[in-house]
Amino acid sequence: MASNGIRRIGVLTGGGDCPGLNAVIRAVTKTAIMNHGVQVCGIEDGFLGLVQNRIKELRQEDVSGILTVGGTILGTSNKCNPSRYCTGMDEQGKPIFKDVTDRCMDHLQHWRLDALVVIGGDGTMSCAKDFIRRGVNCIGVPKTIDNDLIGTDITFGFQTAVETATCAIDRIHTTAASHHRVMVVEVMGRNAGWIALHAGVASGSDIILLPEIPFDYGVICEFITQRHLHHRSCTIACVSEGARPVGGRQVVNHHDPTSPDPVRLGGIGKIVADEIEKRTGAESRVTVLGHVQRGGTPIHSDRLLGTRFGFHAIELLMGGQRNRLVVMRNHKVTDIDLLDAADKQRLVPLDDTLIAAARAVGTCFGDAPVA
């Protein structure tokens, strides 16, 4: 019997997929089994598997060889909140929601799970909150390419997404220079501009547009005009999907009424490119990186971070801790109250030193006249 009465735990991956998920699953499973004699059960497709009772035992051999594999061997879902679960559509085509948390609790009891390790972002932690209130011990591990979870300096998956976006923009540079074009690259991030900021600076993008800094088309176009006057024949703009003009709104690609987070952003890149071409006459093109930022093999830093996070999650459980979120603060893995991270987003602060550094080397954020 394991210490603290913990014999068997469940682990799930919720929300969007990202590189490094399997590194966490591997660390959680192997640490629990090998160091503490605790059985581990994998819950398929996030909280959806808990609703539908799709749970299976994980053994050491099940998680061997997955460290370098992208995605998640358990599957994931960003549409399932047990407290607001879509059961179908009414006669008007509107979704019907039902609280099925009791059903999930029955499945937890059936599988005799003493605790849950929930790997995900703010939406996943918000779902975990309802189980915490019912007495379930939940240990959270912060996952999102958007890097927007409150309480941690970084989430795993972010650095690989930035590397993917940076490499893509590097390639855009050569075709932009060949054709003397303005190239707009739209990256993910929802309401937070972390990917756009880091990939934009790393790739030497001339313009970076963030959700946190509303932009002015006049400023952007004057910046491009001045570049052309100084014989800089191409311009690269890295645009976060949540960016918006001063006084304007974010561009919504579509709504998914069945999802707990129904708004899907996307499309600002094309609008920016079209507006630049109309105002300056400069030939402009847009590239939307989309889900390529979520896929592929995690880079070494996300493999290391995922491993450290997974190990710390089990150490918290076996140390008697309850309802904690594993976080990275000041380069140290530690933990905070999981409830402190639920229903919140971590945005780029306007005084971030990387913004200051980018401005110092001439990057335009669309919010100030060209000097």
Give me the pLDDT at residue 370, please: 45
pLDDT at 368 over 70: no
Q: Write down the catalytic residue from 122, 146, 148, 302.
A: 146
Question: The whole model's pTM is what?
Answer: 0.94
Flag whether pLDDT at 343 surpasses 90: no
Look at 179 and 196; give whichever has higher pLDDT.
196
247 DSSP assignment:
T
Using CB atoms within 10 Å of the CB of residue 67, give its burial: 0 to 12 exposed, 13 to 18 middle, 19+ buried: middle
Averaged pLDDT for residues 153-180: 94
Query: What are 203's strand-pairing partners?
Result: none
Tokens 């079209």 -> residue? 274
pLDDT exceeds cutoff 90 at 359: yes
Catalytic annotation present for 114: no
β-pair partners for 120:
142
pLDDT at 339: 92
Q: What residues does CATH 3.40.50.460 cover in the chain?
A: 161-294+349-360
| Distance between CA atoms of residues 26 and 21, nearest Å | 9
Whole-angstrom distance, CA of residue 209 vs CA of residue 358 = 12
Least confident of 126-130, 161-165, 313-317: 126-130
Three-class SS state of 142: strand
Q: Which residues, other chains included, contact 142 with Cβ-Cβ below 8 Å and sequence gap of 6+?
A: 120, 121, 149, 151, 152, 155, 156, 309, 325, 326, 327, 341
**CA dist., res. 196 & res. 361, Å (int):** 17
Architecture category of domain 161-294+349-360 in CATH: 3-Layer(aba) Sandwich (3.40)
**What is the CATH code for 3-156+296-341?**
3.40.50.450
CATH 3.40.50.450 region(s) of the chain? 3-156+296-341
**Given a cut of 60, is residue 3 above it in pLDDT?**
no
Q: Please report where in the chains the tokens 């370098």 appear, as a residue.
A: 68
DSSP-derived letter for residue 128 is H
